């Protein structure tokens, strides 16, 4: 259900959950001032309680009261990449952030989104938690129609058009003396090197310290076959590129193979299209570079292909 900016702000003030657009993906927003609304997000999404939420704010000054420590280069990162698709995990004063938001951790994740409508809501409503507006583990919503598909046509959505980034924010965490990427996203490691003097390594670990780390994530019902022993023709369906030839196959196109930004924008829509077409198995073309934004695209496809039923 399409709502106005004023209605979105009013509903949030009343302790309701609404869907808001950002430049990355649509989010389910709830005010930090309403614990019941925060809890409702977990119920709506079917989200595990050990998966922390990102706190979205309108400006940098709203973050400092929560932070127990300001790591090196934080202000420079904020100046360079906010508003934008960067999330930063900071040590916080735990009593200021409800335990459910931070999943019991002594840290919390913060972001200033770039979408003008999201910023206007944040300026009016104050800090909001806002995970992606999709059922937990499924492909994220990059259009208002995706939100309604997951939560029903009567769910309140502030329509903001298609998300121009299409992939979630990159999450940085300062640990062991340097910044590390704990979730790949719309910003890639090379973009931080001029500021930090090094490419932040991608952190590998089993402990969940931020959203997007669960093994099966962003996944359609269809089985994604990556590095498969089968040929595309044997499967009959391909998730691939519009400028490549796949004989005797129906193609679900991500876009042209030399346009990673467009492919990132299209990825979740393509994964959702597989389920709309009731495809059971699809051969995935993963013949592309393993650097820049391609790293995130590769990681999202890998998580979407994970077949483990024990992790949602």
pLDDT digits (tens, 9 = 90+) for 106-132: 999 999 999 999 999 999 999 999 999
Binning pLDDT at 50, 70 and 90, where does residue 17 land? very high
Q: Give me the pLDDT at residue 312, please.
A: 27
Q: Answer yes or no: is 211 within a domain.
A: no
pLDDT of 218: 84
Quick check: is 300 in a domain? yes
Report the pLDDT averaged over residues 176-202. 96
Q: Looking at the structure, tell me whether residues 228 and 300 fall in a common domain.
A: yes
* CA atoms of 181 and 202, how far apart (whole Å): 5
pLDDT computed for residue 309 by the predictor: 35
Task: Indicate the number of domains in the chain.
Answer: 2
Does one domain contain both 63 and 144? yes
Q: What is the per-residue pLDDT across 133-165, written as a single tens digit (0 to 9) for each? A: 999 989 999 999 999 999 999 999 999 999 999
Q: For strands 54-56 and 18-20, give the pairing.
A: unpaired
CA distances from 240 to 9, 266, 279 (A): 40, 11, 15
Q: Give the pLDDT of residue 115.
A: 98
Does 205 reside within a domain? no
- CATH (domain of 271): 3.40.50.11030
Residue 52, pLDDT above cutoff 50 = yes
- Are both 301 and 242 inside the same structural domain? yes
Q: Average model confidence (pLDDT) for the chain?
A: 94
Same domain, 277 and 175: no
Residue 208 domain flag: no
**Domain co-membership, 64 together with 192:** yes
CA gap 9, 208 in Å, rounded? 31
Same domain, 42 and 156: yes
Tokens 């809501």 — which residue?
121
Cα-based angle 204, 207, 209 (whole degrees, multiple of 5): 90
Q: How far apart are alpha carbons 90 and 81 in whole angstroms?
A: 16
On the question of a cis peptide bond just before residue 65, with omega within 30 degrees of 0, the verdict is no
3-state secondary structure of 128: strand
How far is 246 from 233, CA to CA, in rounded Å? 8
Does the pLDDT value for residue 198 go beyond 70? yes
Inside any domain, residue 217: no
Rounded to an integer, the average pLDDT of 18-35 is: 98
Q: Say if residue 199's pLDDT is above 90.
A: yes
In terms of pLDDT, which residue wins out, 212 or 47? 47
pLDDT value at residue 310: 31
Which range has the worst mean pLDDT, 45-54, 77-86, 210-219, 236-245? 210-219
The tokens for 67 are 């932070």
Question: What mean pLDDT comes out for the span 40-45?
Answer: 98
- Whether 227 is in a domain gets the answer yes
Domain residues for the domain of 241 are 223-305
CATH number at residue 28: 3.90.870.10
Neighbours of 250 (CB within 10 A): 12
Task: Give the rounded percent of residues in the chain with a pLDDT score beyond 90.
Answer: 92
Long-range contacts formed by 68-72: CB under 8 A, 24+ apart: 68/92, 68/93, 71/174, 71/179, 72/174
Task: Yes or no: say if 199 and 178 are a contact pair by the CB < 8 Å rule.
Answer: no
């Amino acid at each position: 259900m399409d709502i106005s900016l004023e209605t979105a702000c009013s509903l949030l003030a009343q302790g309701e959950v609404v869907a808001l657009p950002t430049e990355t993906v649509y989010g389910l927003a709830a005010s930090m001032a309403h614990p019941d609304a925060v809890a409702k997000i977990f119920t709506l999404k079917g989200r595990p309680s050990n998966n922390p939420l990102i706190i979205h704010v309108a400006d940098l000054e709203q973050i400092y009261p929560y932070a127990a420590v300001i790591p090196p280069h934080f202000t420079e990162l904020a100046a360079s990449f906010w508003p934008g698709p960067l999330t930063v995990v900071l040590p916080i004063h735990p009593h200021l952030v409800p335990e459910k938001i931070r999943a019991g951790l002594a840290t919390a994740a913060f972001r200033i989104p770039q979408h003008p409508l999201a910023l206007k809501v944040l300026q009016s409503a104050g800090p909001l938690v806002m995970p992606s507006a999709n059922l937990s583990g499924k492909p994220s919503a990059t259009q208002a129609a995706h939100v309604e598909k997951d939560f029903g046509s009567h769910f309140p959505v502030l329509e903001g058009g298609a998300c121009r980034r299409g992939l979630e924010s990159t999450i940085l965490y300062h640990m062991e003396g340097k910044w590390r990427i704990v979730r790949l996203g719309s910003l890639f490691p090379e973009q931080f090197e001029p500021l930090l003097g090094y490419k932040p390594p991608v952190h590998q670990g089993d402990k969940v310290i931020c959203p997007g780390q669960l093994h099966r994530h962003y996944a359609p019902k269809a089985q994604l076959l990556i590095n498969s022993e089968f040929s595309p023709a044997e499967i009959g369906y391909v998730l691939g590129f519009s400028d490549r030839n796949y004989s005797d196959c129906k193609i679900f196109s991500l876009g042209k193979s030399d346009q990673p930004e467009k492919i990132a924008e299209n990825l979740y829509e393509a994964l959702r299209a597989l389920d709309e077409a009731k495809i059971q198995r699809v051969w995935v073309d993963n013949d592309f570079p393993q650097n820049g934004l391609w790293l995130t695209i590769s990681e999202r496809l890998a998580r979407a292909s994970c077949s483990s039923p024990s992790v949602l």
